[in-house]
Amino acid sequence: MSTTGPLGRSSGEGRLFPLLTGAAAVLVPCLVAGIALVLWRESLLSIREFGFAFWRTSIWDPVAGQFGALPFIWGTLYSSLLALLLSAPVALGIAIFLSDLSPHALRQPLIFLTELLAAIPSIVYGLWGIFVLVPLVRRLEIATPAWLKGVPLFEGPPLGVGLLAASLVLAVMMVPFTASVAREILKAVPSAQREGAYALGATRWEAIRMALFYGRTGIIGAVMLGLGRALGETMAVTMLIGNNPRISLSLFAPQYTMAAVIANEFTEAADPLYLDALVEIGLVLFLITVAINALSRVLVWRVGRERTVRAGRPVPAAAV
């Protein structure tokens, strides 16, 4: 029996092959580390100047040299979480329909259509958002009865652009992504589980509920992956959110997100502190999305492992 050495090769094999291919492979983790390092280095000025107060201050005034990034955290979390609330049930519904309820003939065309939805570029969503969604939201805002307008949630002039428009477009963008990962999870649940439930007299929903229970960690992972996407979404958000660094509870108020401020202000930032402040925002955005992605990956893997099949990555179309 041959033994495998540190490079994974068996004794008696050439050294060149694993070395060369390994050299290319090692670039990938190096890239991730490199990105973290570079972001860290380029934001040092801002980190040293402001420390943690950067994230507690809410005044963002580049002209006066005041940089407080709290509005961006607020806007990012508010818009993404609202979008999550709107998109998760729909995405789950789609996943359940495609895996358990759809008539056979409809399945492939519907899957294709959801993939199409996922393939539409962010800029196109933004374009559609500006010219179609924003006027619609504006009409909605105008139509809001006066008594409702008193509530902080609905305060403000009917601009159209603002948190609501951005969250809506984010929700639309998140749905196909979350739905496809959730569908893979449901597919990985052994059919014996559903059959067991049916054989005990379960209704359709009760059997599906058992499958959902079996895959619950993976489904949470799928939802988190969708959240990770939303947090980093740039173009559609910056075109619809109003780009105002103001913390507000109102759905109608223009606000700002981390990705949007970088996109908008980076090319105009002249002094080093301004630039470094923006990069620091990028660094935190990076860390947050890495953490969420790492966590959701672990969750999605667990369901795959239970089945003792190659762990949770979506199977390419060719194999299905």
Contacting other proteins within 177-196 (CB under 8 A): 179, 190, 192-193, 195-196
Q: Which amino acid is at 293?
A: N
Is 70 or 275 the residue whose CB approaches other proteins more closely? 275
Q: Minimum CB separation from other proteins for residue 59, in Å?
A: 23
Q: Which residues, numbered 123-162, are part of the site for other proteins (CB under 8 A)? A: 123-128, 130-132
Local structure of 129: helix, strand or coil: helix
Concatenated DSSP letters of 190-216? -HHHHHHHHHTT--HHHHHHHHHHHTH
205 lies in the binding site for other proteins (CB under 8 A): yes
* Of residues 227, 228, 221, the one with CA closest to residue 186: 221
* Of residues 283, 297, 256, the one with CA closest to residue 74: 256
Is 135 or 150 the residue whose CB approaches other proteins more closely? 135
Using CB under 8 A, pick the residue from 68, 75, 218, 228 that binds other proteins.
228
Is 7 or 151 the residue whose CB approaches other proteins more closely? 7
Residue 231's H or E segment, with its range, is helix 216-232
Q: Which residues, numbered 29-58, are part of the site for other proteins (CB under 8 A)? A: 29, 31-32, 34-35, 38-39, 42
Question: Helices 70-96 & 272-306, crossing angle to 10 degrees?
Answer: 30
- 101: its two tokens: 């309820």
235 lies in the binding site for other proteins (CB under 8 A): yes
Say how many residues touch other proteins, by CB under 8 A: 111
Q: Which residues, numbered 281-300, are part of the site for other proteins (CB under 8 A)? A: 282, 285-286, 289-290, 292-294, 297
Identify how many contiguous H helices and E strands the chain contains and give both numbers.
14, 2
Q: Which residues, numbered 258-277, are part of the site for other proteins (CB under 8 A)? A: 259, 262-263, 266-267
Residue reference for tokens 């597919």: 187
* 61 C-beta neighbours (distance < 10 Å), count: 10
198 lies in the binding site for other proteins (CB under 8 A): yes
Residue reference for tokens 């979350």: 178
115 lies in the binding site for other proteins (CB under 8 A): yes
Using CB under 8 A, pick the residue from 208, 223, 253, 299 that binds other proteins.
208
Q: Which stretch binds other proteins (CB under 8 A): 57-65, 156-164, 248-256, 307-315?
A: 307-315
Contact yes or no for 106/98 (Cβ under 8 A)? no
